[in-house]
Copies of this chain bind each other. A is one copy, B any other.
């Protein structure tokens, strides 16, 4: 039941009104950003409203409840925000490609670049995705959001096979694997910010390319 009634009120009018007002949007963004940092730092379970409010410099957690319908709503918004920024980086790089392999490599590179410039974003995303997989409380819509990469990747792999660029493998499984490798880099970087990201990027590229290599390439 949806009650007292910050601007988070309804799904329909939120779009219209909420985003409209400047202060409101700014506050929301401020909270979302603080949430992203906090999740990246302490994990999803550790990111309590109190901790988020703390980081955002808010006087009370009430302000979060005011701007978001609940923790799930905040999480969904966090995911939306991350995905949007992520797409800004990834999409242009990917769109510029004509071959499946080019697209695949562009995707990997874009991930690394996004990780480098927006570390907490990608760390948060991975962390949320993980928690969401066990705790089933995320809305179907946002669950889809989490899985968007996966579906797209699988399709890309399938196309590469059809065009003869890629070799033999199970596209559904390999998509899972490729994402898990991406996540491994994110994890490692989350744990040690002084990580040699370039080395990981190189190995990631090499590994994925070997995994997808066609007969000709080998």
Residues of B near A84 (CB, < 8 A) are none
A-side interface size class: 35 or more
User: A134 CA to B2 CA in the complex, in Å?
Assistant: 19
User: A184 CA to B211 CA in the complex, in Å?
Assistant: 16
Contact at B210–A133, with CB atoms within 8 Å?
no
User: A120 CA to B40 CA in the complex, in Å?
Assistant: 27
- Which of the residues B45, B169, B203 comes within 8 Å of A174, measured between beta carbons? B203
Q: How many copies does the complex hold?
A: 4
Judge if A11 is at the interface, Cβ distance under 8 Å.
no
Judge if A200 is at the interface, Cβ distance under 8 Å.
yes
- Which of the residues B2, B59, B130, B135 comes within 8 Å of A42, measured between beta carbons? B135
Which among A26-34, A94-102, A175-183 touches the partner chain?
Answer: A175-183
Which among A47-55, A74-82, A103-111 touches the partner chain?
Answer: A47-55
Judge if A161 is at the interface, Cβ distance under 8 Å.
no
Interface string of A186-197 (1 = CB under 8 A from B): 011011000000
Contact at B191–A184, with CB atoms within 8 Å?
no
Contact at A9–B59, with CB atoms within 8 Å?
yes
Kindly report which residue of chain B lies nearest to residue A51, judged by CB atoms.
B3
Residue pairs across A and B with Cβ atoms less than 8 A apart, 20 shown, are A3-B48, A3-B54, A4-B49, A4-B61, A5-B50, A5-B54, A43-B131, A43-B134, A43-B135, A45-B131, A133-B187, A134-B190, A169-B203, A170-B202, A173-B199, A174-B203, A180-B180, A180-B184, A207-B211, A210-B211
The 3 A-B pairs of least Cβ separation, nearest first, read: A4-B50, A180-B184, A45-B45
